[in-house]
Structure 1
Amino acid sequence: MDTSRDTTAVRVRAGAGVDEETLAYARLKIDAVVTRPGLPAVHGEVRIAKSGAHDAAHVWSAVAELRVGNRTVVTHAEDASGHGVVDRLQDRLRSRTDKAAHAWEPARRTTAPPWRAEQPGPSVEDIGEDASGGTVQD
């Protein structure tokens, strides 16, 4: 079963064994992260899967691969329950999209300090020495 649906510009996909309730919960939580005010354009894909091995400690896994502005955000999460893996993924996505959004903000760009301004340094002729340390002769 491969169910897909677009949530804003983020596609949420479910692998085999993922019930509709968990998928709806995931869409709600992912949508809450990617539609926050102040974020640049977000698009990508979230995949949720349930492992067939029931004796494993972390049966559920989720992977998000998103583009936040011009930054790529990749997040992984594992848990023993469907809601748990979605909650973990949401927390990690919120943190990483915040970091990507702050790196994207053009208003956060600083200007170079005056001593770093593009000023040519003194030439060899100005100093009066050549590159080897000797005196320049005319």
Structure 2
Amino acid sequence: MTTAPLTIAIGGDHAGLPLKAVLQEALAKAGHRLVDVGTNSAESVDYPDFAHRVAAAVAAGQAAFGVLVCGTGIGVQIAANRHPGIRAAVLHDTTEARLTRAHNDANIACFGARTTGAEVALDALRTFLGTGFEGGRHARRLAKIDQPAA
């Protein structure tokens, strides 16, 4: 990880635990402060509980970014995106990581432990954290996302 130290909330369910551990280790080694909301057990748990905790920490400003891991990344993404101000995206590669930060100002990276290998996830997370939001026309589009549906 090459970015300045950040506070990052991290969580996931039992299916995501092995990948979560790999991502946690890399983030800690890079000097980031981690807010670990669990799970830290292979016992079956419900992914929305952890997605809501990470999203709440990011939305409240307790963490600059969030990282969520479940079997596919989809469930945690859906749950996290229920929170105002949260833009969670499932990442499968560095291109998605770069574009979701640059164009969507995403603030939570979601990964599927059953669909994305550890090295790919690590590369995507490095890219996600190292990419800034471009603003401009993208800021106008983000403002429209936050508007109530007509």
TM-score bracket, shorter-length normalisation: 0.3 to 0.5
**Bigger strand share:** 1
Which has more radius of gyration? 1
Specify which structure has the bigger relative contact order, considering alpha-carbon pairs within 8 angstroms and separated by 6 or more residues. Answer: 2
Q: Greater helix share, 1 or 2?
A: 2
Q: TM-score, normalised by structure 1?
A: 0.34
Q: How high is the TM-score relative to the length of structure 2?
A: 0.32
